[in-house]
Amino acid sequence: MTDTHCPYCALQCGMRLTGTEVAPRGGGLCQKGWTAGRLLTSPRRLSTPLVRVDGELRPADWDTALDTVAARLRDTIAASGPDAVGVFGGGGLTNEKAYLLGKFARVALGTSQVDYNGRFCMSSAAAAANRAFGVDRGLPFPVTDLADADVVLLVGANPAETMPPFLQHLRRATASGGLVVVDPRRTPTAEQAALHLQPAPGTDLALALGILHAVVADGHLRRDYVAARTSGFDAVWRIAAAWWPERVERVTGVAAADQRRAAALLAGARNAYVLTARGTEQHARGSDTAQAWLNLALALGLPGRLGSGWGCLTGQGNGQGGREHGQKADQLPGYRKLTDPAARAHVAGVWGVDPAALPGPGRSAYELLTAADLRALLVFGSNPAVSAPRAGHVVDRLSTLDLLVVADVVLSETAAMADVVFPVTQWAEETGTMTNLEGRVLMREQAVEPPDGVRSDLAVLHGLATRLGQPAARFPVEPSAVFDELRAASKGGIADYYGVTYDRLRSGEALHWPVPSTEHAGTPRLFLDAFGHPDGRARFVPVDHTGPAEPPDADYPLLATTGRVLQHYQSGAQTRRIPELTAAVPDGYVEVHPDTARHAGLADGDLALVESRRGGATVPVRFVPSMRTDTVFLPFHFPGDRRANLITNPALDPVSRMPEFKVCAVRLTAAPS
């Protein structure tokens, strides 16, 4: 029996594993968590390396697979330079893996071309938090603080399906009529809300401006807080003054009275929170949209006040830690900037290399996956053939590479395209740390032995690095050794893990970063005394609404949005291998208002083609009377011609480089017979 944590979302629920049987520990589990043990014994589990020979993936021994990859990487670098090789990581990797992957890219390969699928997760909220607070931590307070909330505004979040145990923290707000949900769909979360604001996709920023206008016009502005703890409000108000609620109603479809009601609920609460998630962030202006909700929270005096605040619901299991320790294109461990000479010197000193040898920032995720000059790509813990925007183009680009290498536990859609596949350990077969949505570092202990023939990602990186001429000690295989190095590399950074040790975690200490020394108790609540900027003040940042990058028109008259369902996770590479989950939701579909479907000549259950300028998904129709008549919804977990990301728009946010997953123009027709 081993105490561990769920392998899925960033809530990282505690669980107890006996063999492969799961039980909750200190709380609840969702359907995905309860069935997580099934993947450990899945007959579709990879247990031997695969190397493509004569067009087919064939079993190979480890030395052959590692030698093949190392030789071809050396040839590529010799012919085209180190930046012809890319590394693509994942927000589900442990802190140790994410750290060593970034180090491997920059030291063993010498490439700047490293990023990860967390770019698709909460990079826009991270950009907004950095601008406003000088620090990015998903929740700058413990998640348990939400239990005392009178009012919670959830923006673009559907935790009833994405992280159901989270709802226990909202019971008081829900019971008292204080749950407000902003979502174009009438989701299971919205069903529980006292107030559901249902804007057209891509108009969230206008809605935030309208509620801010109501806060000021109706006398709810916390002028004492704004004066004492912030700067820049006047520039924000000059924009919001022009977005009175009646004007916002014309743009968003949300009644002006409901905007004023939301403002009054938030202002009248003793404890209130504004929480954002992917629905409001995955836009070509996602950083500005997240910023608009953050501006609203600041105007209400919420951030940095005990019992109130602003936060972002991180999606992937290690979405927070995954972006803190160096697998992101522009960052070094400890959330240091790659362009900062002092940061480069510190990390290079830990690594034992010349700071000048470290490459500069590389391309963001979508740009990396589609770069014309990329000749080789190594993918760890991600399935971009399904999860990337404009997925058809990404698959076409991956198919032209000279070398595609994938490390995974199953033959995902991306792994099936690879030249070499490494079978690696999964969550219960390895020890490592994760950082959950509240910035708490968690220990995930090894509970079972991996299948024969399977190695850890750390061992794969070690094997490749040594074959590329690196000293063996520079790329440790033991997670504890990697973590100790991570601690030293993060020391003094924004995300300082130096005081976190395996012994402290195993003793049950709740350690929220920063933890600058082994005597430090951690920092569960940020900003109570000061924000992260040198003057200690939070920054209002002026932003204005411009609408989606691709508005509907006569040829593509509908708006499509995407999201998750309860039974599946991310690209579905794990959950689609679990019989109970696939039995519940076996395939993709499109949710459509009955009037919209009938206008297209479609009945409930008919096979439809949802088509954008980039491609089309062929999916059955589901009538959903609560849908907006101008909007359709597709879950993004499914492969083949059911892929929602065949239609999504890769238009990138200029700050976060987040693609516009959440809105694109489409047309709906009967699928060709």
H helices present in 8-111, as ranges: 31-34, 62-80, 95-103
Averaged pLDDT for residues 506-515: 97
Q: What is the pLDDT of residue 104?
A: 98
Q: What is the pLDDT of residue 122?
A: 85
Q: What is the pLDDT of residue 395?
A: 98
451 secondary structure, DSSP code: P
Averaged pLDDT for residues 544-551: 96
Cβ-contact 542, 232 below 8 angstroms: yes
Quick check: 342 pLDDT over 90?
A: yes
Q: At what angle do helices 457-467 and 95-103 cross, to 10 degrees?
A: 10
Rounded Cα distance between 306 and 451, Å, is: 48
Quick check: 240 pLDDT over 90?
A: yes
149-181 exposure pattern, b = at least 16 Cβ within 10 A, e = fewer: bbbbbbbbbbbbbbbbbbbebbebbbeeebbbb
Q: What is the pLDDT of residue 147?
A: 97
pLDDT tens for each residue of 51-70: 999 999 999 999 999 999 99
Rounded Cα distance between 113 and 104, Å, is: 11
CA proximity to 497, closest of 531, 523, 530, 460:
523
Averaged pLDDT for residues 22-45: 92
Quick check: 262 pLDDT over 90?
A: yes
CA proximity to 589, closest of 612, 617, 567:
617
Going by CATH, does the domain composed of 48-120+318-479 fall within 3.40.50.740? yes
Q: What is the pLDDT of residue 315?
A: 84
CA pseudo-torsion sign 661, 667, 670, 673: negative
pLDDT tens for each residue of 598-626: 999 999 999 999 999 999 999 999 999 99
Rounded Cα distance between 558 and 631, Å, is: 6
Q: What is the pLDDT of residue 28?
A: 87
Distances (CA, A) of 604 to 258, 525, 560, 608, 618: 32, 49, 18, 10, 14
Q: Hey, what CATH topology would domain 558-670 get?
A: Barwin-like endoglucanases (2.40.40)
599 secondary structure, DSSP code: H
Q: What is the pLDDT of residue 673?
A: 81
How sure is the predictor about 339, in pLDDT bands with cuts at 50, 70 and 90? very high
Q: At what angle do helices 95-103 and 479-490 cross, to 10 degrees?
A: 70
In what order do the strands lie in the sheet containing 420-423?
56-59, 50-53, 420-423, 403-408, 376-380, 85-89, 114-116
Question: Structural domain boundaries of the chain?
Answer: 48-120+318-479, 130-313, 558-670
Quick check: 80 pLDDT over 90?
A: yes
In which residue are the tokens 């204005």 written?
544
587 secondary structure, DSSP code: S
Question: For a pLDDT cut of 70, what percent of the chain falls above it?
Answer: 100
Distances (CA, A) of 164 to 30, 38, 167, 188: 6, 20, 6, 10
Distances (CA, A) of 214 to 258, 331, 403: 10, 39, 56
First-to-last C-alpha distance (Å) of the chain: 53
* Residue 309 β-bridge partners: 273
Cβ-contact 649, 202 below 8 angstroms: no
pLDDT tens for each residue of 385-405: 999 999 999 999 999 999 999
Q: Hey, what CATH topology would domain 130-313 get?
A: Dimethylsulfoxide Reductase; domain 2 (3.40.228)
Dihedral of CA atoms 157, 160, 161, 162 in degrees, nearest 10, equals: 50
Quick check: 94 pLDDT over 90?
A: yes
Arithmetic mean of pLDDT over the chain:
97
* Residue 14 β-bridge partners: 5
Q: Which helix (H) or strand (E) holds 276?
A: strand 272-276
SS (H, E, C) 95-136: HHHHHHHHHHHHHHHCCCCEEEHHHHCCHHHHHHHHHHHCCC
Determine the distance from the C-alpha atom of residue 53 to the mean position of all C-alpha atoms in its chain, rounded to a whole number: 35
pLDDT tens for each residue of 641-656: 999 999 999 999 999 9
Cβ-contact 2, 430 below 8 angstroms: no
Upstream peptide bond of 303 is cis (omega within 30 degrees of 0)? no
* Residue 332 β-bridge partners: 336
Sort strands 114-116 and 403-408 into parallel, antiparallel or unpaired: unpaired
CA proximity to 386, closest of 584, 572, 569:
572
Non-local (6+) Cβ contacts of 437 within 8 A are 10, 11, 12, 138, 139, 143, 312, 313, 314, 319, 320
Rounded Cα distance between 40 and 475, Å, is: 27
The number of residues in the chain equals 673
Q: What is the pLDDT of residue 27?
A: 81
pLDDT tens for each residue of 193-229: 999 999 999 999 999 999 999 999 999 999 999 999 9
